[in-house]
Chain A
Amino acid sequence: MTRQTLLALEGISKSYPGVKANENVGFTIGAGEVHALLGENGAGKSTLVKMIYGLVRPDEGQMTLGGAPFAPAAPREARARGVAMVFQHFSLFDALNVAENVALGMDNPPPQRELAAKIRDVSEGYGLPLDPARLVGDLSAGERQRVEIIRCLLQDPKLLIMDEPTSVLTPQEVNILFDTLRKLASEGTSILYISHKLEEIRTLCDGATILRRGKVVGSCNPREKTARELAELMVGTTLTPPERAKIETGEVALEIKGLSVRSLNPFGTSLKDISLSVRKGEVLGIGGVAGNGQDELLLALSGELRSAPAAITVLGQPVGQLGPNDRRRVGLLTGPEERLGHAAAPDMSLLENAFLTGAVRRRLVRNGFIDWLETKIFAEDIIKTFDVRTPGVLTAARALSGGNLQKFVIGREIMQEPAVIIVNQPTWGVDAAAAAFIRQALLDRAAAGAAVVVISQDIDEILEVADRFAALNEGRLSAPVPTKGLTVDRIGLMLGGAHGMHSAEGHDHATA
Chain B
Amino acid sequence: MLRLEKRPNPSRFWIYGTPFLAVALTMIAGGIMFALLGKDPVAAIKLIFLDPLFNGDVASYSRPQILVKAAPLVLISIGLSLGFRAGVWNIGAEGQYVMGAIFGAATGLAFYPTESRLVFPLMVLAGAFGGFIWAMIPAILKTRFRTSEILVSLLLVYVAKQILASAALSFLKNPEGAGFPGSRNLAQIPAMANGELIAGTGLHWGGVAAFLAVGAAYVLLQRHILGFQIKLAGQAPRAARFAGVNPDRLVVLCMGLSGALAGLAGLFEVTGPAGQITIDFGVGYGFTAIIVAFLGRLNPLGILFAGLLMALTYIGGELAQFMLGLPAAAIQAFQGMLLFFLLAVDLLSNYRVRLIGWGAR
Contact = CB atoms under 8 A, between A and B. Distances in A.
Q: Do A and B bind each other?
A: yes
Interface of A: 16-18, 57, 73, 302-304, 323-326, 328, 336, 338, 341-348, 352, 355-357, 359-360, 365, 368-370, 372, 395-396, 398-399
Contacts of A346: 235-236
Contact of B225 (A302, A347, A348, A359): A359
Most chain B CB atoms below 10 A, which of A356, A368, A396:
A356
B238 interface: yes
Contacts of B10: 347, 396
20 contacts: A17-B5, A17-B352, A303-B244, A323-B246, A345-B232, A345-B239, A346-B236, A347-B10, A347-B236, A348-B231, A348-B235, A357-B242, A359-B225, A359-B243, A360-B244, A369-B224, A370-B225, A395-B9, A396-B8, A398-B8
Contacts of A325: 243-244
Given A57-B361, A341-B236, A369-B223, A304 B231 contact: no
Which 5 residue pairs spanning A and B have beta carbons closest together? Answer: A325-B244, A345-B236, A324-B244, A399-B8, A345-B239
A498 to B, nearest CB: 33
Nearest to A356: B243
A372 B222 CA distance: 10
A301 B95 CA distance: 43
Nearest to A371: B223
A357 B243 contact: yes
Contacts of A341: 236, 238-239
A348 B232 contact: yes
B241 interface: yes
Contacts of B352: 17
B49 interface: no
A304 B241 contact: yes
A304 B246 CA distance: 10
Given A325-B244, A368-B225, A338 B232 contact: no
Nearest to A372: B223
Contact of B9 (A302, A352, A370, A396): A396
Given A368-B224, A372-B223, A344 B239 contact: yes
Contacts of B239: 341-345, 356
Nearest to B354: A17
B305 interface: no
Interface in B159-202: none
B216 interface: no
A341 to B, nearest CB: 5
B340 interface: no
Nearest to A342: B238
B59 interface: no
Contacts of B242: 302, 304, 324, 336, 342-343, 356-357
B211 interface: no
Contacts of B9: 395-396, 399
A368 B229 CA distance: 11
Given A325-B244, A341-B239, A356 B224 contact: no
B212 interface: no
Interface of B: 5, 8-10, 223-226, 228, 231-232, 235-236, 238-244, 246, 352, 361
Contacts of B8: 17-18, 396, 398-399
Most chain A CB atoms below 10 A, which of B9, B231, B232, B236:
B236
Most chain A CB atoms below 10 A, which of B8, B9, B243, B361:
B243
Nearest to A323: B244
B207 to A, nearest CB: 27
Contacts of B241: 304, 324
Contacts of A399: 8-9
B235 A355 contact: no
B243 to A, nearest CB: 5
Most chain B CB atoms below 10 A, which of A304, A345, A347, A359:
A345
Nearest to A336: B242
A352 B244 contact: no
A326 to B, nearest CB: 8
A396 B242 CA distance: 19
A370 B219 CA distance: 11
Contacts of A326: 244
Contacts of B235: 345-348
A16 B240 CA distance: 32
Nearest to A358: B243
Nearest to B5: A17
B226 A352 contact: no
Nearest to A304: B241
Nearest to B228: A370
A457 B241 CA distance: 25
Contacts of B224: 368-370
Nearest to A349: B9
Given A73-B361, A324-B241, A369-B225, 9 more contacts: A57-B361, A304-B242, A323-B244, A325-B243, A338-B238, A341-B239, A342-B242, A345-B232, A360-B244
A357 B228 CA distance: 12
A370 B223 CA distance: 5
Nearest to B361: A57
A330 to B, nearest CB: 13
Nearest to A324: B244
Contact of A368 (B226, B232, B243, B246): B226
A355 B223 contact: no
Given A324-B243, A325-B244, A395-B9, A365 B238 contact: no
A308 to B, nearest CB: 20
A91 B231 CA distance: 31
B267 to A, nearest CB: 28
Most chain A CB atoms below 10 A, which of B223, B232, B238:
B238
Nearest to A334: B242
A288 B349 CA distance: 42
A346 B8 CA distance: 11
Nearest to A73: B361
A346 B242 CA distance: 14
Contacts of A348: 231-232, 235-236
Contacts of A356: 232, 239, 242-243
Most chain A CB atoms below 10 A, which of B228, B240, B242:
B242
A342 B361 CA distance: 38
A66 B10 CA distance: 44
Contacts of B225: 359, 365, 368-370
A34 to B, nearest CB: 32
Most chain A CB atoms below 10 A, which of B224, B232, B244, B246:
B244
Contacts of A304: 241-242
Contacts of A338: 238
A348 B234 CA distance: 11
A27 to B, nearest CB: 24
A304 B352 CA distance: 37
Contacts of B228: 352, 355, 370
B220 to A, nearest CB: 10
A396 B10 CA distance: 8
Nearest to B227: A370
A319 B224 CA distance: 27
Contacts of A369: 223-225
A399 B231 CA distance: 19
Contacts of B5: 16-17
A25 to B, nearest CB: 19
Nearest to A326: B244
A17 B361 CA distance: 17
Contacts of A344: 236, 239
